[in-house]
Amino acid sequence: MTSYPVIGLPTLAIPPGPKPARFGINQSYVRALTAAGCAPVLIPPIDEQDRLRSIYERLDGIVFPGGADVAPEAYGEQAIQNLNIIEPERDRTELTLARWAFDDDLPTLGICRGQQLLNVALGGSLYQDLHHQGATTVEHSDADGRARTALIHRVRLDPDSRLAQLIDETSIDVNSLHHQAVKSVAPRLRVTGKSDDGIIEAIESPERRFWIAVQWHPEEIDDLAWVQRLFQGFARAAQPSG
């Protein structure tokens, strides 16, 4: 029987509308992980730690996906008025999972909000809004109506980074769908990639087997060879022994 690494995917709460309230995640994450040889498992926001731990202990790896903003209070700031859309229960669940994963050296991949979440979990901070706070004049969000798959800007990677060596690239064109980004990097993480305007686009932990985060959305462009190498490398790191 084939042994697939079980990968946790935290979900978001979808409020009631024409249909009842639900939990969900974009299907592109599941497709990318399945194609890489993983068995994805969706994790709802759960406040009860014992139940959450029961799920966590069955995982071989975890992917923190994109989504709404991490609450500024989590990194010691007050929210800038009318800029933040937050999901407190999701923040609590994901910050807990991220800290457990770091402590236990569980293979971890962060994507967009996921990069921001991992940085905050270990003590870093964020730009609440890149334009409002003057971090760049480049449009990194999809406010202009761009396709989610559109390759918008270049990211230069540190050749010595785990990410660059894994995907065998040091300069890549990426899609971009975010209005926030890492500001101060958590002490136990290092910057491994930036866009040409200086925005932090990749971070990783040199202390862990696989703790990599990117600011773009590779799951949306998984027909590219280097994206496939990223997910396949994550799957290898999460492969259960024995």
Angle between helix axes 88-104 and 113-121 (nearest 10 degrees) is: 70
179 is catalytic: no
Is 178 tagged catalytic? no
Say whether 156 sits in a helix, a strand or coil.
strand
What does the alpha-carbon distance between residue 92 and residue 97 come to, in Å, rounded to a whole number?
9
**217 among known catalytic residues:** yes
Q: Supply the Cα-derived Rg of the chain in whole angstroms.
A: 17
Catalytic residue among 38, 112, 204, 220: 112
Residue 48: C-alpha distances to residues 5, 81, 92, 193, 194 (Å): 25, 31, 10, 36, 37
Q: Which of 87, 201, 219, 220 is catalytic?
A: 219
The answer to whether 87 touches 189, Cβ cutoff 8 Å, is: no
- What residues are labeled active site? 112, 217, 219
